[in-house]
Amino acid sequence: MITRLFSSFDPCSSMPLTTNWLRRLIILLIVFSSYWICPNRYLVIFNKININIHSEFKNLLGPQTFGVTLIFTRILLFIIFNNFIGLYPYIFTRSRHIVVTIRLSLPLWVSFILYGWINHTNHIFSHLVPQRTPGILIPFMVVIETVSNVIRPGTLAVRLAANIIAGHLLITLLGNQTASVGVNLIGILLGVQIILLTLESAVAVIQSYVFAILVTLYSREIESH
């Protein structure tokens, strides 16, 4: 049971690995082709969403960080796209795999740390010891702040993957019970699955937003001096 349950999170469990991951390209070329073939209402809605997201990041980072805000906007849209595509049947959700999420968070964190240590060394040192810290607690605060900075990419990756995988795991558990329940309970089970699918759609957006906002705040912390 455990093997069958967690095999649903294996990208090559139901079909060859290359076929499963190449479905993304097929969806991009066929389903979303209306976004770039000609201007239409979908393109207008997408552009409005993109502008609003970019404006929010610009308010957090300031007007002088146009290129950085574009990067964070694309990260947010990329995670949302992957989360929503994973809700379709027989498509592997890359954002629920810890290897993928750590590859998103670790390069960003390393770039922030390197930039901060090279350009704002004194500011980075000052962040290790909060203001008005008693002298006897300074060594402990340095260790605590260092550990909290080091585990940031891991917490970002685990938070995104765990929240995505939790809902998918619950949907999988309920789906496996469909063949064993009576006819009277199938309607209730389908209703619960529809509710869970709606909640997963909200989680797909919320977790993408949380990931992008936390990365933005980490970047702002390096610059705030």
pLDDT at 46 over 60: yes
- Over the stretch 167-188, which tens digit does the pLDDT of each residue have? 877 877 777 777 677 677 777 8
Please tell me the predicted confidence (pLDDT) of residue 2: 43
Helices first, then strands: H and E counts in the chain: 10, 0
Which of 131, 142, 158 is CA-nearest to residue 214? 158
Rounded to a whole number of angstroms, the CA Rg of the chain reads 22
- Over the stretch 196-219, which tens digit does the pLDDT of each residue have? 888 888 888 898 889 988 888 888
Nearest-angstrom CA–CA distance, 123 and 218:
14
pLDDT at 222 over 50: yes
Please tell me the predicted confidence (pLDDT) of residue 3: 47
Question: 18 exposed, middle or buried (CB, 10 Å; 0-12, 13-18, 19+)?
Answer: exposed
Phi, psi of 112 (to 5 degrees): -65, -45
Distance separating the N- and C-terminal Cα atoms of the chain: 54
Lowest mean pLDDT among 52-56, 63-67, 219-223: 63-67
Percent helix, strand, coil in the chain, to 5, is 80, 0, 20
Nearest-angstrom CA–CA distance, 66 and 2:
47
- Over the stretch 98-155, which tens digit does the pLDDT of each residue have? 888 888 889 888 888 888 888 877 777 777 777 777 778 778 888 888 888 888 889 8
What mean pLDDT comes out for the span 64-80?
79
What are the structure tokens assigned to 99, written together? 């290897």
Of residues 3 and 45, which shows the higher confidence score? Answer: 45
Please tell me the predicted confidence (pLDDT) of residue 65: 65
Please tell me the predicted confidence (pLDDT) of residue 201: 87
- Over the stretch 1-34, which tens digit does the pLDDT of each residue have? 444 555 555 555 555 555 555 556 656 665 555 5
